[in-house]
Structure 1
């Protein structure tokens, strides 16, 4: 009963470290790929410039038009560029080392869990505390409480088990969108172009569309037309309908009452852009769309929820769903649990009634557990009181109940 089902819990840990747990030797961490591509990009760019410069010097030398001073200046420029490249690669290398260390720590955290076999062990309690703190930090980061999340991570010494930096970076993009600026988000799209293409994202088009709308709002017609030619026409194969509609803004002022164009001018589109960016960012980082706290709470509440939870006369003080002001409110929209074998819980003690704690009926036909009634009788001269009606009976009057 207390044995841990490792696979079920690990199925929720995919965003924690992008790794195939059944094959730990394979660790396709997304940040490694990004760092490698960035290094390759810098190297290819500088090698191309170096090759072009040297080719030009050789060509001029062959024609007898080379000047020693010009060659010296060109070589100095090459040395400077290579020094800059070396510094960039050193920074990227340091970043890769950071990701390597973080991945190692996270894998050790999961490996520790795999070595725990009992829910009652102290090791599981300690591991669960770390996991709970991770879930709380994830929730706070998503809700914008980055300061509190950082303090909790530091106090529990789990900075390497959470993704504060990613949320700080995404927070800067969201803040720019709140200021009605698409620049930072467009740069983010450019940095993550291949990943966004894989998930078939339309975020870049939405941003380009919004920048056109802002030009139309300011009645900068010529600039808007030039912008559309440069940034919207590349999307005409897939978004021709949206482009045609947005171009109509050139004929309608921002205070128009015409519904399609009034909606395009609405400032609420910026909130939609923030939601779209957040969704795309979570998809690229392999985060769950909803906070893991909400996912785990909903799973637990759905397993406990029954029709009786929302009937005042049947509420159980030990059931979290039965509290209408707390978790019960969160469980309102969740489905009922499906029990193939029902459990009967004593209204007095909250314990399950079974062969070791038989259900007993009072003369008024209300049923409670034997253990609860026996304990009550021992304290009241063999008298028991029904908590529902207040009726008092002798313990000898109770009868066994056989449920079929």
Structure 2
């Protein structure tokens, strides 16, 4: 019964890691529908206005034939422009619906499997690992490598290359000292950002004002910028608005690079902070996790393996974070393997994860320790020895194949 529970797939736990896979196309479909709706409303209003002017002019006798033809041409041009926009939205909608169908089919494959022993699970888990790797590469800015990897694996519909590439482009533009791309993105998602009560656009406008002060713009233009973009948010960001007014009263000195107490606003580190704020807002808006899913999956596995004995030296001396504890076992080839939690590659990720919480331990009855350090149940060792035709006074290691005398075994007690 215990072995069955151990190998059984808990589908609800698995699906927690795959929520962004399903939710992102849905969020993008909402954005696409909103764009189509705005285009229809805007162009339809223009066409109705031209039609009303043309009809009124004809009834009043104020428009001649040339004016009527001109109005009709304008209406046709606007109708064609609306058709192009709606067609583009329809193509994007079809692409997203196909992507959503492929992702649902991928997740549905998991529910057709009942245990980890299923031969199909290895292939499915390999696809998921590839997805996590592509997601990690995209978040770290390796866009070309990630796109090539997704193409080679034929999994373009299962990864979010376009979305994360666009996010990286805007993030990098902020790090380079430009707010234009980020402001365009805020304009496209203004309604949703307002619902989220996001301060991203205010921070961008504030930085825009700081750059105006740094470049020595006209005080009148700076004051107009404050009135238009900053003072409407005075109730939410009072200290920032006061700082902007102070910067206007005490201009930035480009020679000494002093600003009478406002140096933090002129610091290059603010661009990294803006990039971080944009990334967090973008992920929250599209229901994407803040950390790469690969980190989430690794942290889950490390937490299941972590014990109080792991990383003892790191807890004793956080400044050096040197690991002296080494939980090792002997592999079938005879080579020692290091505990993953204590390994140099994963120790930084594992140091903050919680310890494993096991409500039930499955331990074999009457344990015996072999001279090589491996531990097995006595009954299993005897069954294994009989299977290979060994004498009654000998046992065989189930993994390494080493043979030992039964007298060399030591009894193991768990306290």
**TM-score past 0.5 threshold:** yes
Aligned to 1:81: 78
Distance (Å, rounded) in 1 between the aligned partners of 2:78 and 2:62: 25
Identify the structure with bigger relative contact order (alpha carbons < 8 Å, sequence gap 6+): 2
Q: 1:312 to 1:86 in 2, by over 3 A?
A: closer
Candidates 382, 389, 411, aligned match of 1:400: 411
Deviation readout 1:264-311 (Å, 9 max, x if unpaired): 111110110100000111111111110011011011111101233346
Aligned to 2:319: none
Deviation readout 1:75-114 (Å, 9 max, x if unpaired): 1111111112112111111111001100110000011111
Aligned to 1:315: 328
The 3-state SS of whatever aligns with 2:354 is: coil
Q: 1:181 to 1:285 in 2, by over 3 A?
A: same
1:120 to partner: Cα distance: 1.4
Aligned to 1:14: 19
Q: 1:16 to 1:348 in 2, by over 3 A?
A: farther
Aligned to 1:326: 345
Aligned to 2:287: 286
Distance (Å, rounded) in 1 between the aligned partners of 2:167 and 2:355: 37
Q: TM-score, normalised by structure 1?
A: 0.84
Distance (Å, rounded) in 2 between the aligned partners of 1:7 and 1:210: 44
Aligned to 2:164: 167
The 3-state SS of whatever aligns with 1:18 is: helix
Aligned to 1:253: 252
Deviation readout 1:216-275 (Å, 9 max, x if unpaired): 112222221111111112212211221011221120424455674011111110110100
1:327 to partner: Cα distance: 2.3
1:321 to partner: Cα distance: 2.6
In the alignment, structure 2 segments of 5+ residues that lack a partner are 1-5, 312-323, 330-335, 382-394
Q: 1:210 to 1:287 in 2, by over 3 A?
A: same
Aligned to 2:386: none
Q: 1:88-127 to 2 correspondence within 5 Å?
A: 88-127=85-124
Distance (Å, rounded) in 1 between the aligned partners of 2:126 and 2:371: 32
Distance (Å, rounded) in 2 between the aligned partners of 1:186 and 1:230: 15
Aligned to 1:336: 355
Equivalent residues of 2:139, 2:168 under 8 A apart: no
Equivalent residues of 1:174, 1:274 under 8 A apart: yes
Candidates 224, 240, 243, aligned match of 2:241: 243
Q: TM-score, normalised by structure 2?
A: 0.82
Aligned to 2:226: 228
Q: 1:401 to 1:69 in 2, by over 3 A?
A: closer
Aligned to 1:367: none
Distance (Å, rounded) in 2 between the aligned partners of 1:373 and 1:324: 26
Distance (Å, rounded) in 2 between the aligned partners of 1:136 and 1:349: 37
Distance (Å, rounded) in 2 between the aligned partners of 1:296 and 1:347: 34
Deviation readout 1:144-196 (Å, 9 max, x if unpaired): 00111111101110000000000121122123213311111011011111221
RMSD: 2.7
1:402 to partner: Cα distance: 3.9
Deviation readout 1:15-44 (Å, 9 max, x if unpaired): 10119xxxxxxxx81122222221111111
